[in-house]
Structures are given as C-alpha cells and as structure tokens.
Amino acid sequence: MNSQSNYGAQSPTPLKLQGSSTMDSQRQRGSESTISQQLVALGELEFRKGFLILSYLGGKNLEEVLSADQIRGFKDLSMRELESRMW
C-alpha cells in the first residue's frame, strides 16, 4: 500500500478567466484579424509612450480617440512633447 495520500496527485484545475471563451473562439478562427490598427501602431512605439497614451485615455476606447497614423506620428516625439500633446 502506498503511504502517500491522493491529495497531491490531482492535476491543478486551470483558472478560467472572464472572457477566456471569447479568446479561445478568436484563436480557433485562425487568420481572422481581431487586432485594431491603432493597437498595432501602439505596439510600434516605445513602451513608455504607449503606456502614457493608454493612461491618458481615461477609460475611453483607443480606436475612438486616435487614428493609427496619429499614433505613429508620436514615434519621433520626445516624452515631454508627447505629454504636452496628450494634455
């Protein structure tokens, strides 16, 4: 007889995050693009600039506030210039 209890033998159950079924269905669709052009442009910026932009949205939707071209226009600005434009 094995002296170990079955307590530690079970595999942990993965935590199901809210909305994860939506993410799973998006993965299953394959090549269908679900990322906005604004998010792609945001990913092209330095992290600090992207973070600043998202912080200043104040809960608004990025796609409703800025175009991808506007975001790309921030690429060559200093942080000080970017902050003054965002205000």
3-class SS string, the chain: CCCCCHHHHCCCCCCCCCCHHHHHHHHHCCCCCCCCHHHHHHHCCCHHHHHHHHHHCCCCCHHHHCCHHHHHHCCCCCHHHHHHHHC
> Does position 18 have pLDDT exceeding 70, yes or no?
no
Domain range list for the chain: 35-87
Residue, of 26 and 54, whose pLDDT is higher: 54
pLDDT of residue 69: 96
pLDDT band at 20 (very low <50, low <70, confident <90, very high): very low
pLDDT band at 59 (very low <50, low <70, confident <90, very high): confident
Q: What are 47-58's pLDDT values in tens digits?
A: 999 999 999 998
Average pLDDT over residues 16-38: 60
